[in-house]
Chains A and B, each alone.
Chain A
């Protein structure tokens, strides 16, 4: 795992933690929400991330990137911990949106995370591999499988 402190001075160096919090809070919640599908849980993850960052504010040179990775990892951890309850079951599948959401929900966790990172954040395969901690070569095949599965379900 990369040591974020190896990075040279970043533009965030002059930022205060309050500014950082204001700018990034929602972004972290959004990412966690797309993985967890539970707003309260997503906010918990983001809170924990902010706590981690605030405790090491002077040490972390790239808090934004660090927080992003912490958020994804925190959401994965929480999803594993509460895999029986998260994401919450949908009451009824009515329209296209609900149907697709249901299909995404049923993807394996790791696959779902990779789909979110790819199609929400437009990360490259290398970046995705770095965030989720896998080999870059395994990202493409996982995405392909996810797309195939989703396409198949959507076509039904």
Chain B
């Protein structure tokens, strides 16, 4: 057998072993470069181009005049109604503990809503996009943005799996759990490109962790199925992201907390552990006390990586929370929650939920 045919077979076998051979994709075309015309040819082409331009302009002018005189202007397409997602829900055998962390990063012109349903064996995620960012007022044309979604799912190591593409306003991803059971986790990574402003998003990740407690022990508030879901949904609805380039040192873990009359600031630097994981999730912190901005209760990490800084403040009944997070691209994302007007009961539920799984957290402070 010749070396050429050996190589052909080898490449096919490589793809088979990697599970990439089906279906066999035909040879992809390569665009051939056309030879440049001679000087004489170039002159002829240039003349032809000039004639075509003159004719084209004339024809366009005539068409415009006709259009204005005989036809009314075409109606502009109405603004597209974007789908409204239902409240985020976590049901079935998975409890609210599943919401270990969310992390968003996407162009400023995007506001995404996630509707996640976790059932035993299935993770269903519906993502929809809103047309403008309430914070920056940057608008994106509905339907003009596109992003591809990639679900990375496994217990520990990530197994990228392309699942679909979203070019309109909503997409639905359904993933079957590979192992299921307590302790598993999945990250959904979207890579997006906004045609409106040309920006691209590295990723958006959402992590879900299955409950570590049996379902029977799940908190009673889950039975109603609304309080936590609504609370989280309120957060999601009014969240936005802006990118803030800034430099935060990495190094040995250092935590500090300062509380003034109307603001609490917490800074935390964690020793970077390169390769420790993909896009760690950092939770926001919230205050729940009436008397001050609310002490920062807890902050949890699913993985230690990079650096983070929080800044929480409370004005009247509105809760403001900020979270910065550096991504592998070097960008900083500032995540802000406006008007998370939870009741004390809701806050307690959320905080209780958030802080339940922090046994391995790097830092926690009242």
User: Which residues from chain A sit less than 8 Å from chain B, CB to CB?
Assistant: 2, 4, 7, 16-18, 21, 24-27, 29-31, 33-34, 37, 39-40, 42-44, 46-48, 50-52, 54-55, 57, 62, 64-69, 97, 100-101, 104, 115-116, 119-123, 126-127, 130-131, 147, 150-151, 154
Contact = CB atoms under 8 A, between A and B. Distances in A.
Contacts of B19: 39
Contacts of A42: 20
A47 B32 contact: no
Given A27-B25, A55-B193, A4 B10 contact: no
Given A34-B15, A51-B191, A54-B147, A130 B32 contact: yes
Nearest to B189: A47
Contact of B165 (A17, A48, A64, A131): A17
Interface residues on chain B, size class: 35 or more
Contacts of B146: 17, 51, 54-55, 57
B29 interface: yes
A119 B312 CA distance: 59
A64 B167 contact: no
Contact of B29 (A39, A55, A65): A65
A122 B12 CA distance: 13
Contacts of A30: 15, 20-21, 25
B192 A51 contact: yes
Contacts of A127: 30, 32
Given A46-B162, A55-B194, A64-B28, 15 more contacts: A18-B167, A24-B25, A26-B25, A39-B160, A44-B160, A51-B192, A52-B193, A54-B193, A55-B195, A69-B31, A97-B10, A101-B10, A119-B4, A126-B32, A151-B3
Contacts of B191: 47-48, 51
Contacts of B59: none
B18 interface: yes
B174 interface: no
B42 to A, nearest CB: 15
Contacts of B33: 2, 126, 130
29 contacts: A17-B146, A21-B165, A24-B28, A30-B15, A30-B21, A33-B14, A34-B14, A39-B18, A39-B20, A43-B160, A47-B148, A47-B150, A48-B191, A51-B147, A51-B191, A52-B193, A55-B193, A55-B200, A62-B29, A62-B31, A66-B31, A68-B28, A97-B10, A104-B10, A115-B7, A119-B11, A121-B28, A127-B30, A154-B6
A66 B234 CA distance: 42
B80 interface: no
B8 interface: yes
Given A51-B193, A126-B32, A151-B3, A40 B160 contact: yes
